[in-house]
């Protein structure tokens, strides 16, 4: 929304690592960057995975991709060897073999969310539209108009560099105020869209809790997987392909797996 309204790429101002690359950032950003680095020692790539908007776009696009790495491209015997191998938590476990029982309460909750969807979307859209004034202040024209307004009203005696530059252009203040008003209107419309979008995502997330396809094999979450390949070496099929394990050893593993399953059953 900020980019579309011309306010700029606000998120770029909060890149925690830009201070290190450019050898310059304010103190708060350095602290933020160092915190992210420290957090990265226990949680894999926290900024890229949970905060970066580009990461979100890549997540969505990855889900649409036709080709994607899989732990093992053809077979999986659910040996679980890869289960803990992904540092990004992108491996989805196979479901239990017992058929899922659809609970009546789940169906009721699903129906309730479905009915409430328009209300939630409208409500969050309305909340988004109410943020127009505060969000639009991040636009340089709107913040300049507010400063000029304060000076014109005599509430501020000292001019800033920006207001001095504006007054030197000879442009009438009214023209600036009209521009700022039009930008605020754009933010109001954008707020509706943004809020409505967040409402839709919220409802879809809730609905997805009640809709589950049964997964018969270990697979990856396409959106969360970074295709680093670290899990491959854990898979016995991959080890056979690489010549690190013989097919006979794999069969032995399969037999053991069957026995374990029988034991569990």
Binding site for ligand SF4 (CB under 6 A): 69, 71-72, 76-82, 85-86, 88, 90-91, 218, 220, 225-231, 234-237
Q: How many residues appear in the chain?
A: 265
Measured CA to CA, the distance from residue 82 to residue 91 in angstroms comes to 8
Contacts of 200 (CB under 8 A, 6+ apart): 117, 121
Nearest to ligand SF4 of 187, 232 (CB atom): 232
Q: Is the dihedral of CA 146, 152, 158, 160 positive or negative?
A: positive
Q: Could you tell me the smallest distance in angstroms from the CB atom of residue 62 to ligand SF4?
A: 10
Q: Could you tell me the smallest distance in angstroms from the CB atom of residue 3 to ligand SF4?
A: 29
Nearest to ligand SF4 of 78, 173 (CB atom): 78
Q: Could you tell me the smallest distance in angstroms from the CB atom of residue 101 to ligand SF4?
A: 25
Nearest to ligand SF4 of 180, 231 (CB atom): 231
Q: Could you tell me the smallest distance in angstroms from the CB atom of residue 232 to ligand SF4?
A: 7
Q: Could you tell me the smallest distance in angstroms from the CB atom of residue 49 to ligand SF4?
A: 10
Nearest to ligand SF4 of 66, 155 (CB atom): 66
Q: Could you tell me the smallest distance in angstroms from the CB atom of residue 53 to ligand SF4?
A: 20
Residue burial 114-149, b: 16+ Cβ < 10 Å; e: rest: eeebeebbeebbeebbeebeebbbebebbbbbebbe
Nearest to ligand SF4 of 192, 232 (CB atom): 232
Closest CA to 103 of 204, 200, 212: 212
Nearest to ligand SF4 of 82, 142 (CB atom): 82
Measured CA to CA, the distance from residue 250 to residue 265 in angstroms comes to 22
Q: Could you tell me the smallest distance in angstroms from the CB atom of residue 251 to ligand SF4?
A: 13
Nearest to ligand SF4 of 82, 145 (CB atom): 82
């Amino acid at each position: 929304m900020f980019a579309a309204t011309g306010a700029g790429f606000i998120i770029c101002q909060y890149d925690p690592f830009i201070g290190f690359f450019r050898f310059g950032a304010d103190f708060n950003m350095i602290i933020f960057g160092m915190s992210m680095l420290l957090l990265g020692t226990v949680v894999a790539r926290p900024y890229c995975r949970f905060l970066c908007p580009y990461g979100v776009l890549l997540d969505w696009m990855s889900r649409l991709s036709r080709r994607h790495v899989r732990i093992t491209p053809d077979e999986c015997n659910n040996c679980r060897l890869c289960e803990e191998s992904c540092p990004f938590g992108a491996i989805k476990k196979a479901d239990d073999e017992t058929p899922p029982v659809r609970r009546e309460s789940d169906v009721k909750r699903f129906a309730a969310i479905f009915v409430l969807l328009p209300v939630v979307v409208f409500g969050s859209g309305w909340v988004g539209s109410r943020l127009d004034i505060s969000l639009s202040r991040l636009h340089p024209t709107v913040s300049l108009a507010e400063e000029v307004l304060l000076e014109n009203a005599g509430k501020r005696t000292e001019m800033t560099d920006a207001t001095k530059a504006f007054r030197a252009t000879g442009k009438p203040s009214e023209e600036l105020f009209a521009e700022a008003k039009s930008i605020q209107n754009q933010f109001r419309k954008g707020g509706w869209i943004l809020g409505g979008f967040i409402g839709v995502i919220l409802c879809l997330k809730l609905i997805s809790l009640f809709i589950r396809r049964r997964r018969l094999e270990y697979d990856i979450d396409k959106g969360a997987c970074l295709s680093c390949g670290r899990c491959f070496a854990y898979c016995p099929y991959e080890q056979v392909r690489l010549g690190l394990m013989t097919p006979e050893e794999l069969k032995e593993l399969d037999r053991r797996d069957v026995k374990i399953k029988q034991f569990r059953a």
